[in-house]
Copies of this chain bind each other. A is one copy, B any other.
């Protein structure tokens, strides 16, 4: 199986490394910036390309792993006939590749990729989609080599999965950052709160989050909420987040009580 990766960012890099570790070589890596293409290509024993017309036209799969707003334009520059072309975006519909090839699909690894941290790809869910059952089978066979958790999702489900990941991952990380900022403004070390973060995340491995919600909002402890808001009054950003999330905890509780 000959695979070409278009892109050199975090997703392209982690995918490239995962393929290499799974014994699947990537024949070419394309990036507009040749240095970026080389950086990834060198680590995975591949060939770097910066002119998109220099790509082999005979590969079995072209993976477009670029930023969401660049997918369409990169796809349209790709002149490889009716080869199988996939993108790796959570929130871009399959239709974004319409007209580019008869054979299109999606290969979306759900993970928070930071360039400096290795991940265990076997546990990363990969959401796949394709125009035809045959293309889906090809995509699935490739995805199965990387992960034990391959799942067919339509574009609307995949987008819901992406939004859910933004809530549970990107936003929680930002709350960690706000928490650190507040601690440091009070001469406290972020280490004080790291065990709590681990416990909070660990707890939902075996529990439903709403069953283990704790804190002033779920207790409807208005005195404490008011005193916390008072402490945050000079940081309108955090103040509003505190207020909205506290209200949302109460609202979800009401919905659950039905």
A residues engaging B (CB < 8 A)? 10, 67-69, 91, 110-114, 116-117, 119, 123-125, 149, 151, 153, 156-157, 159-183, 185-188, 190, 192-205, 207-210, 212-219, 221, 223-224, 227-228, 231-232, 237-238, 240-242, 244-245, 247-249, 251-252
Contacts and interface: CB of A to CB of B under 8 A. Distances in A.
Given A178-B252, A196-B111, A203-B117, A215 B123 contact: no
Q: Please report whether the interface of chain A is mostly helix, strand, loop or mixed according to DSSP.
A: helix
Given A161-B183, A167-B238, A173-B209, 19 more contacts: A68-B223, A114-B203, A149-B192, A157-B188, A160-B188, A160-B231, A164-B180, A164-B182, A164-B183, A165-B179, A166-B216, A166-B242, A168-B175, A170-B214, A171-B242, A172-B197, A172-B201, A177-B252, A179-B209
Nearest to A203: B117
A248 B179 CA distance: 13
Nearest to A183: B164
Number of copies: 2
A182 B160 contact: yes
A209 to B, nearest CB: 4
A24 B91 CA distance: 55
Contacts of A165: 179, 193, 196
Contact of A168 (B166, B179, B216, B228): B179
Nearest to A195: B123
Given A156-B186, A245-B174, A169 B232 contact: no
A164 B188 CA distance: 10
A143 to B, nearest CB: 14
B168 A219 contact: no
